[in-house]
Amino acid sequence: MTFFWSSWITILSFGCWLFILGALLMVLKFKPEVEEDGTTGHEYDGIREYDKPLPKWWLVIFFGSIVWGVVYWVFFPAMFPKSWDGIATVEVDGKTVPWTSKNELYSDLESNNKVFTDNFEKSILVQANAADAAKTLASLSEMQATMRRSDKPPADLQTKIDENIAALAPDVVKLSENPNALKVGSRLFLQNCAVCHGSNAKGATGYPNLTDNDWLYGGEASNILTTLHNGRVGGMPAWRDQIGEDGVRAAAEYVLSLSPDHGSKSNGELDNTLVTQGQAIFKQQCALCHGQDGKGMISAGAPNLTDNVWLYGGERETVRETLRYGRAGVMPQWETKLGNERIMLLAAYIYSLSDKGVPTATATVPANAPAPKAVASAN
């Protein structure tokens, strides 16, 4: 809260409190004069006022609220910002910190997370015959905590973290064969990933399909883990300034010639002169990332251009657009938001979706799959 609003509320609360206290003292001090018939002599529309004590229950609540107000001030940071932290505390990240609504939220998230993690380790990993992963997960989260806390982490720490993540790959493969793990994974997917990749994971323009065997960054369990932990940013440069509009048109025509149905039926016949010119440009400028044969390169995240799977579209004008202005699709990182255990479940789920000889898990995500409520219980 801003200084103004905290001060405003503090003054208002103190004001009310003083007013009530004052009213109480005044009533105690000034007794009304009572006439012989027991009334105060006040009469309104024929109703005469007596001087009777207030009911007990009412007084108990009245004094109780005053005491409660004081107790509240003592326990919680209820006064001008930073002038009083209150004596209430919560546990966050192993430390006892003063109560604030934010700290309480963190503390709740942590304890929910612990329930999830315990359940994951004690039942899901054990069921999937992957209990060994627990040790790797423990050392991984320790290293991540060191990374978070230190301003100047040791130079090789990130490498060690990456190695630990890669070491989880065989267990992800095991999880991908366990129906229970896939069920939780599919719910996590609906909750976190479906907004971009679609609830059936088949993607949309700019958002890759995760159910096919066409990968920008690789479909091995270790590739998927890395994608989820660190996120990815596509790096297709803009070419208009470098090769000009003519160059763009030629290179685009060559790209279309690589695709089995020339990108899209609506493209019609290709211009062979442009294709030949484009091929020269491609070998010079594009092969570096997309490969000499145009089949793409996982290390660069550069897609295969020789199939009919398009991330941004195979229509002639769309391909030209891609070349003119470049593309930079962003896959967010999930490490901080979801943690290592949920990422393993998601990776297992994604791994199970592509054709790896494992029964496709589309069967495990019904279109009417239970919404986030079910996920909350999995937490």
Q: Which residues bind to ligand HEC, rule: CB under 6 A?
A: 189, 192-193, 195-197, 206-208, 210, 215-217, 224, 227-228, 232, 234-237, 239, 251, 255, 281-282, 285-286, 288-290, 300-303, 305, 310-312, 319, 322-323, 327-332, 334, 346, 350
Contact 69, 17 (CB under 8 A): yes
Task: Tell me the closest approach of the beta carbon of residue 158 to ligand HEC, in angstroms.
Answer: 21
Task: Tell me the closest approach of the beta carbon of residue 314 to ligand HEC, in angstroms.
Answer: 7
Give 285's DSSP letter: I
Return the number of the residue (167 or 353) whose C-beta is nearest ligand HEC: 353
Contact 176, 358 (CB under 8 A): yes
Task: Tell me the closest approach of the beta carbon of residue 310 to ligand HEC, in angstroms.
Answer: 4
In this structure, the dihedral spanned by the alpha carbons of residues 93, 98, 101 and 107, taken in order and rounded to 10 degrees, is: 20
Return the number of the residue (133 or 255) whose C-beta is nearest ligand HEC: 255
Return the number of the residue (169 or 319) whose C-beta is nearest ligand HEC: 319
Return the number of the residue (184 or 323) whose C-beta is nearest ligand HEC: 323
Q: How far is CA 346 from CA 78, 184, 235, 311, 315, in A?
A: 42, 8, 25, 22, 33
Return the number of the residue (38 or 206) whose C-beta is nearest ligand HEC: 206
Task: Tell me the closest approach of the beta carbon of residue 242 to ligand HEC, in angstroms.
Answer: 8
DSSP string, 176-198: TT-HHHHHHHHHHHHHHTHHHH-
- Residue 50 β-bridge partners: 39
Give 298's DSSP letter: G
Structure tokens given for 294: 């145009």
Return the number of the residue (15 or 235) whose C-beta is nearest ligand HEC: 235
Return the number of the residue (73 or 312) whose C-beta is nearest ligand HEC: 312
Task: Tell me the closest approach of the beta carbon of residue 368 to ligand HEC, in angstroms.
Answer: 20
Task: Tell me the closest approach of the beta carbon of residue 297 to ligand HEC, in angstroms.
Answer: 8
Return the number of the residue (86 or 203) whose C-beta is nearest ligand HEC: 203
Task: Tell me the closest approach of the beta carbon of residue 205 to ligand HEC, in angstroms.
Answer: 9
Return the number of the residue (92 or 341) whose C-beta is nearest ligand HEC: 341
Task: Tell me the closest approach of the beta carbon of residue 226 to ligand HEC, in angstroms.
Answer: 9
The candidate with the shortest Cα–Cα distance to 255, out of 236, 234, 237, 281, is: 281
Alpha helices in 150-178 (DSSP H): 157-167, 169-175
Task: Tell me the closest approach of the beta carbon of residue 218 to ligand HEC, in angstroms.
Answer: 6
